[in-house]
């Protein structure tokens, strides 16, 4: 996003996490959450601020600034947290969902322009905007479709095709031969996915086809706690007799720049998930990697990408939890060369519509002529249906008092051992 906007604008990319050395045609700065002095300096400099995540919660000026604000709400994190927090103590699960809901409502109440990832998400967020009073005579009068309030601008693709820079998978991972057919799970393992049905389907497929290999690209996300589904998946592969013979787990995390080597060596991409609300409004960026590498894919029905795969004949869509259908679909994309070649041609065509220049066109257009929302300054004064306190929260989401409060919460609801583990991870991330 920063690279694309830097072509015609002065850009500063800000991060609140540890900063690695980056060569880029724009400034890269680190500002710690709550460091309002440094952030306010950038706020005074900027004509437009684009953000996602918790930035509005972390920097107070974003709730009062007169600068034009663009909120990238591609991640419905309150829906995601319904699944991500399922294994937590009930009180912690409730707290995380409530916090994510408040953070998103805060952005929806205050920002001038919004970016989301799909038409499904746009419909969902229009409902949330309406409940906050943002769909009103001012925003509707000259923009009845509300296109100047919220636009679809999903994650995009590099216009340059992936290159095979070095062997990464075939002939490198023990048990994976150069001649094998590799199915790639191109990302992490989280509770809202269904790797178990996939493992069972592969165990079924290898009974009638030799040389089939399933590779899970990442199991240890550097920024997300490892979820129970990881251990459960490894245990199931072992029970099915396919662990390290037909099903393989990368025990670490692949660097973003290195993933293209795995993608180029794979023969098919796969994404399987459960049918629930998180799936309905999700946007799986791993599917974009499959598009980028022209990988025929097998995906579970229920999300916007499944609709795309079916409509454009990019692979096979299967019902959730259907082992037989999944096994047959994997066999088709791997061994029906006519079908796979047709899918690859369609993938090449569709991939062009997801390049960054196309996906970010609404944002680039907005930045060329930036403007406040039609209901500004009313939105900054929060004239919607929620009061200011419900949007800003009772305490700051950072600092010693916040850490102390969270430690007490986890001590009460998770116990001393879990609290110490969380503290250790937090300290490690701050190093």
SS (H, E, C) 234-258: HHHHHHCCCECCCEEECCCCCCHHH
* Predicted local distance difference test score (pLDDT) of residue 344: 98
User: In the structure, what pLDDT confidence band is assigned to residue 381 with cuts at 50, 70 and 90?
Assistant: confident
Q: Are residues 62 and 87 in the same domain?
A: yes
Q: Are residues 142 and 8 in the same domain?
A: yes
User: In the structure, what pLDDT confidence band is assigned to residue 125 with cuts at 50, 70 and 90?
Assistant: very high
Decide if 320 contacts 301 (C-beta within 8 A).
Answer: yes
What percent of the chain shows pLDDT beyond 70? 89
Among residues 290, 201, 293, the alpha carbon closest in space to that of 247 is found at: 201
Decide if 93 contacts 136 (C-beta within 8 A).
Answer: no
Pairwise CA distance, residues 314 & 202, whole Å: 20
pLDDT score of 218 more than 70: yes
Q: Are residues 416 and 382 in the same domain?
A: no
Pairwise CA distance, residues 288 & 356, whole Å: 11
* Predicted local distance difference test score (pLDDT) of residue 221: 76
Q: Are residues 369 and 406 in the same domain?
A: no
Q: In the predicted model, what is the mean pLDDT of residues 184-206?
A: 94
Q: Are residues 322 and 371 in the same domain?
A: no
pLDDT score of 430 more than 70: no
Residue 165 forms part of a structural domain:
no
Q: How many domains does one find in the chain?
A: 3
* Predicted local distance difference test score (pLDDT) of residue 191: 82
Among residues 215, 309, 224, 312, the alpha carbon closest in space to that of 266 is found at: 215
* Predicted local distance difference test score (pLDDT) of residue 196: 97
What is the tens place of the pLDDT at every residue in 260-301? 999 999 999 999 998 888 888 888 889 999 999 999 999 999
Ramachandran class of 163: left when φ > 0, alpha when ψ lies in -120 to 50, beta otherwise: beta
pLDDT score of 335 more than 80: yes
Residue 136 forms part of a structural domain:
yes
Where b means 16+ CB within 10 Å and e means fewer, 140-149 reads eeeeeebebb
pLDDT score of 198 more than 60: yes
| Least confident residue range of 107-111, 242-246, 382-386 | 382-386
Output the domain CATH number for residue 315. 3.40.50.2000
Q: Are residues 406 and 289 in the same domain?
A: no
* Predicted local distance difference test score (pLDDT) of residue 392: 53
Pairwise CA distance, residues 409 & 422, whole Å: 12
Final residue of a structural domain among 355, 370, 386: 355
Q: In the predicted model, what is the mean pLDDT of residues 347-366?
A: 97
Output the domain CATH number for residue 123. 3.40.50
* Predicted local distance difference test score (pLDDT) of residue 397: 67
Decide if 183 contacts 213 (C-beta within 8 A).
Answer: yes
Residue 39 forms part of a structural domain:
yes
pLDDT score of 406 more than 60: no
Q: Are residues 296 and 365 in the same domain?
A: no
Within 13 A of 412's CA, how many CA atoms are on the CB side? 9
| Least confident residue range of 115-119, 215-219, 426-430 | 426-430
Residue 162 forms part of a structural domain:
no
Within 13 A of 415's CA, how many CA atoms are on the CB side? 4
Residue 242 forms part of a structural domain:
yes
User: In the structure, what pLDDT confidence band is assigned to residue 253 with cuts at 50, 70 and 90?
Assistant: confident
Residue 227 forms part of a structural domain:
yes
What is the tens place of the pLDDT at every residue in 230-239? 999 999 999 9
Q: Share the mean pLDDT of the chain.
A: 90
SS (H, E, C) 374-404: CCCCCCCCCCCCCCHHHHHCCCCCCHHHHHH
Pairwise CA distance, residues 98 & 255, whole Å: 32
Q: Are residues 194 and 334 in the same domain?
A: yes
Q: Are residues 226 and 104 in the same domain?
A: no
pLDDT score of 426 more than 80: no
Q: Are strands 268-271 and 297-300 parallel, antiparallel or unpaired?
A: parallel
The stretches of 206-336 forming alpha helices (DSSP H) are: 228-239, 259-265, 277-280, 285-292, 304-312, 323-335
Residue 85 forms part of a structural domain:
yes
The pTM assigned to this predicted structure is 0.84
Among residues 157, 424, 183, the alpha carbon closest in space to that of 326 is found at: 183
pLDDT score of 409 more than 70: no
Q: In the predicted model, what is the mean pLDDT of residues 40-60?
A: 95
Residues shown for the chain? 431
* Predicted local distance difference test score (pLDDT) of residue 384: 39
Domain hosting 54: range is 2-153+361-395
User: In the structure, what pLDDT confidence band is assigned to residue 383 with cuts at 50, 70 and 90?
Assistant: very low
Q: Are residues 367 and 350 in the same domain?
A: no
Q: Are residues 6 and 133 in the same domain?
A: yes
Task: For residue 161, give both structure tokens.
Answer: 């095709």
User: In the structure, what pLDDT confidence band is assigned to residue 385 with cuts at 50, 70 and 90?
Assistant: very low
Q: Are residues 240 and 264 in the same domain?
A: yes
Residue 170 forms part of a structural domain:
no
Of these ranges, 7-11, 401-405, 412-416, the one predicted with the greatest mean pLDDT is: 7-11
Contacts of 263 (CB under 8 A, 6+ apart): 162, 184, 186, 269, 289, 290, 292, 293, 295
């Amino acid at each position: 996003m920063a690279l694309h906007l830097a072509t015609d604008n002065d850009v500063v990319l800000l991060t609140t996490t540890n900063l690695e050395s980056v060569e880029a045609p724009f400034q890269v700065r680190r500002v710690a959450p709550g460091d309002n002095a440094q952030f306010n300096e950038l706020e005074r400099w900027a004509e437009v601020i684009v953000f996602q995540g918790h930035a509005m919660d972390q920097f107070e000026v974003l709730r009062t600034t007169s600068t034009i604000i663009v909120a990238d709400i591609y991640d419905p994190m309150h829906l995601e947290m319904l699944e991500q927090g399922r294994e937590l103590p009930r009180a912690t699960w409730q707290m995380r969902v409530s916090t994510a809901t408040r953070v998103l409502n805060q952005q929806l109440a205050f920002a001038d322009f919004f970016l989301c990832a799909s038409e499904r998400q746009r419909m969902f967020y229009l409902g949330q905007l309406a409940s906050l009073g943002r769909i009103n005579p001012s925003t509707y009068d000259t923009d009845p479709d509300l296109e100047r309030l919220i636009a679809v601008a999903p994650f995009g693709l590099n216009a340059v095709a992936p290159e095979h820079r070095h062997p990464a998978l075939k002939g490198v991972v023990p048990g994976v031969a150069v001649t094998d057919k590799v199915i790639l799970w191109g990302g992490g393992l989280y509770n809202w996915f269904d790797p178990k049905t996939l493992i069972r389907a592969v165990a079924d497929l290898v009974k009638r086809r030799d040389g089939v290999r399933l590779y899970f690209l990442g199991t240890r996300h550097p920024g997300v706690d490892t979820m129970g589904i990881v251990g459960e998946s490894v245990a199931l592969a072992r029970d099915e007799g396919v662990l390290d013979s037909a099903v393989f787990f990368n025990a670490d995390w692949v660097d973003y720049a290195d993933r293209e080597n795995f993608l180029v060596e794979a023969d098919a991409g796969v994404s399987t998930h459960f049918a629930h609300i998180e799936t309905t409004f999700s946007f799986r960026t791993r599917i974009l990697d499959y598009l980028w590498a022209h990988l025929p894919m097998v995906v579970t029905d229920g999300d916007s990408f499944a609709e795309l795969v079916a409509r454009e004949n990019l692979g096979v869509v299967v019902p959730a939890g259907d082992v037989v259908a999944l096994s047959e679909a994997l066999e088709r994309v791997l061994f029906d060369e006519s079908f796979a070649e047709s899918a690859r041609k369609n993938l090449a065509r569709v991939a062009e519509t997801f390049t960054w220049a196309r996906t970010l066109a609404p944002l680039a257009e907005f930045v060329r002529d930036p403007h406040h929302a039609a209901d500004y300054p009313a939105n900054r004064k929060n004239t919607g249906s929620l009061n200011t306190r419900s949007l800003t929260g009772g305490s700051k989401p950072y600092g010693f008092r916040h850490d102390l409060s969270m430690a007490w919460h986890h001590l009460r609801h998770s116990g001393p051992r879990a609290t110490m583990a969380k503290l250790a991870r937090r300290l490690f991330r701050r190093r």
